[in-house]
Amino acid sequence: MAVSGVSLADLRRHVAARPTWRCRVCAAPWPCQPAKLGLRTEYADNRIALTLHLSALLYDAIADRIDTGSPDAGRDALFARFVGWTRVR
């Protein structure tokens, strides 16, 4: 399946590098725009599953922040980055 001329396989390459949670392909904060597009496509029929999946990854990102010594830095921004964009507008 292709989305906007890009294959889903290409979008799936945009994964997070831990503990920084930056994209391994484009180095943008993850989930980057290609990752979001891929996730929206993959979970098109189940937005709840998408939100649960990203919530688990948010938990991992917070744990990584704690492990690296910056637990309180940008909690609201992390929520918006990982989960907030999945809301229906």
Kindly report, residue by residue over 25-68, the tens digit of the pLDDT: 999 999 999 999 999 999 999 999 999 999 999 999 999 988 88
Torsion of CA 76, 16, 44, 87, to 10 degrees: 10
In the predicted model, what is the mean pLDDT of residues 82-87? 93
Can you give the pLDDT at residue 5?
65
Position 89 confidence tier, pLDDT thresholds 50, 70, 90: low
- pLDDT greater than 70 at residue 71: no
Q: List the domain boundaries for the chain.
A: 8-83
Inter-residue contact 34 to 11 (CB < 8 Å): yes
What's the confidence (pLDDT) of residue 73? Answer: 63
Sequence-distant (6+) residues with CB within 8 A of 24 are 13, 14, 15, 16, 17
